[in-house]
Each structure stands twice: as C-alpha cells, then as structure tokens.
Amino acid sequence: MAAQIINGKALSAEHLAGTQEAIIKFKARGIVPGLAVIIVGENPASMKYVANKEKICQSIGIYSRIIRMPAHTPQAEIETTIRQLNEESAIHGILVQLPLPPHLSTLRLLSLINPAKDVDGFHYQNSGKLFYGLPSLLPGTPKGVHEMIKSTGVTIAGKDAVVVGRSNIVGKPMAIILMNEDATVSVCHKLTADLKAYTSRADILVVAAGKPKLITADMVKPGAVVIDVGITYVDGKVVGDVDFQAVSEVAGFITPVPGGVGRMTVAMLMANTVEAAASIEAERLSSLG
Ligand code: NAP
C-alpha cells in the first residue's frame, strides 16, 4: 500500500491564502500586521529561515522588520530591543530566532516578549495556556503538524499517538496538543528503552528528533499517519527523521521532507502574527472606550 502524501506545499499555500484575506480586511481598516524578527549572529540555517520568513511576509502583506545583531551582542542590549518592540504599535509579533549564541539566556529573552506578541508561542504564559487547554498563540511547528493531521480526515480522539522528541519547541507542545484532542499520547526520547515498541503501535506518529532515518518501515503501524518534523543537512540535502521510501509502503499518510512540515511552520507563524494583530487591535479599541 502506498501512503497518501500530506502535501505541505499545497496545504501551507491554502493557509497563507486565508491569512492574506484577513490581512486585506485589516488593511481596509488602516491596520498593517507587523512582525519583528531578531537574529543574533550569523548561523547559516537561521539566516536562511529568517530570509524565508521575510519573503513570505512580503508576499502576503505583513510588514516585516529584521533586526540583525552581531553574535557578541550583550544580553542587556537584546533585552532593551525586545522592550522597545513590546511598546511599538506597528509591531504585533516579535520573534527571536533560535538558537542563540551560548552567552545569552534564551529563556530570559523569550520571557521578556509581551505574551500578546509572542508569535512563536514560546513564552511560559502561552505554554501555560496550552497546558490548561485555553486559547493561546501556539508554536508554529506543532500547530502546523496539528493542521496536517486534521487535513487527513483521521480522527485524533481515542487514537494512540506517539511523539518522538521532547523539546520545548516541538515535542512537548505537540504532545499537549494531541492530549488536548483526546489522543492517548506517549513521548519518546533518547533514553526510551524500546523505541520500536512505542512507534509500532502509533496510529499517529510525529517524529522530531533530528536523526536521519531513525524511523524505519518495521517501526510503523500499517495505515498510520506519519509526520516527519526532522530537518538535517546531509551532503547539502535536507533530510527528515523517517525513511520516507520504505515507510511510504506501510503508512496511510506521510509528510515528505522537504515540502512537508517546514512549509506549514512558516504559514502558522504568519497566521499567528495576524491572530496577534487581531487581539492587540481589539484590545486597543476597547481601551479607547
Ligand atoms: P532538539 O531540541 O534537539 O530535540 C530532539 C529531541 O529528540 C530530544 O528530546 C531528544 O531526546 C530526542 N531524540 C534524539 N535522538 C533520539 C533517538 N535516537 N531516539 C529517540 N529520541 C531521540 O530538537 P528540536 O528543536 O525539537 O527539533 C527536532 C528536529 O526537528 C530537528 O531536526 C529540527 O531541525 C527539526 N525542526 C523542524 C522544524 C520544521 O519547521 N520542520 C521546526 C523545528 C525543528 P532527549 O530529550 O533525551 O535528548
């Protein structure tokens, strides 16, 4: 059986079109959603991601400002920049591109972002809301994966879901999203004794480990939804965590790499920026009485 491909390119284009429509309505009211991205240092992958975000912002009408800071920038200087952006009315979303150079406190910088402008959804106030099942700005990657799973038409409630990886930005929020959708969720990591025992019973398998070909065909339940979040550069090519060719023969649905989750992550960031703009502008209007 050949799995159906979950086409990240097509699905992200649909989401971006919806976001663009919302932007057009905003602009008719004289509001331009604005996103500020802070990038510290010259990590090549980060520079590429930031350039892509800027390009997509421009293509759908979001005002984007890239703030480039040298790798040795002191923590205090970045904190000042974040505080200024928190106050700036033209900016509705603030994102600090990760990873940061080691002398900086990522947690402190992320927690300084106004939670209403936290379009990456990494502020503990937004993670806390997710934990409680309250509406919040969700991290783009797990939010995008959730949309991809929904696009298959497969019911999440009551299913066995396995998330490989437990990072704060992908694995943990992904597990909570699936739990909030009434899946029975297992989270695996490096010390999981028998990874295959978990993955092979998953109806929904999300893999975010950063280990090429970690998931082979014998580790996948026939008909499962397999979402490959992994991005690793091997000989200049982007590869995921799943042995795509072999697993396609077993799974019911599968995401490719490239052309899968990465595209959705950016589309969700754009959606979050517009969502943030909507609540900030609504708040502003209500404060005017
Ligand atoms: P991370 O912080 O390095 O976390 C990786 C997680 O995978 C950790 O929890 C780790 O376990 C677990 N892991 C590593 N090797 C494993 C193994 N052999 N068996 C089981 N678990 C294993 O990475 P991340 O930021 O979550 O990102 C994960 C991958 O997704 C990376 O390839 C990254 O580039 C990619 N990514 C893609 C997108 C996108 O838009 N497509 C967005 C974000 C990240 P421990 O906790 O025990 O160390």
87-128, pLDDT tens digit by residue? 999 999 999 999 999 999 999 999 999 999 999 999 999 999
Check if the beta carbon of residue 161 is closer than 8 Å to that of residue 204. Answer: yes
- pLDDT tens for 236-269 read 899 999 999 999 999 999 999 999 999 999 999 9
Atom from ligand 1 closest to the CA of residue 265: 40
Q: Residue 48's pLDDT band (boundaries 50, 70, 90)?
A: very high
The whole-number pLDDT of residue 40 equals: 98
Mean pLDDT of 9-25: 98
Residue 277 CA to ligand 1 center (angstroms) comes to: 31
Mean pLDDT of 50-74: 98
- pLDDT, the chain, mean: 97
152 phi and psi angles, rounded to 5 deg: -80, -20
CA distance 58 to 113: 23
Q: What share of the chain is helix, strand, coil (3-state, %, to 5)?
A: 45, 15, 40
The whole-number pLDDT of residue 1 equals: 60
Determine whether the shortest distance from the Cβ of 240 to ligand 1 is under 6 A. no
Q: How many CA atoms lie within 13 A of 63 on its CB side?
A: 13
Mean pLDDT of 206-213: 98
Determine whether the shortest distance from the Cβ of 196 to ligand 1 is under 6 A. no
Catalytically annotated residue among 120, 228, 241, 243: 120
Residue 210 CA to ligand 1 center (angstroms) comes to: 5
Atom from ligand 1 closest to the CA of residue 164: 21
The whole-number pLDDT of residue 182 equals: 98
DSSP state for residue 105 in the 8-state scheme = -
| Predicted TM-score (pTM) above 0.85 | yes
Determine whether the shortest distance from the Cβ of 250 to ligand 1 is under 6 A. no
Torsion of Cα atoms, 124 then 172 then 275 then 145, to 10°: 170
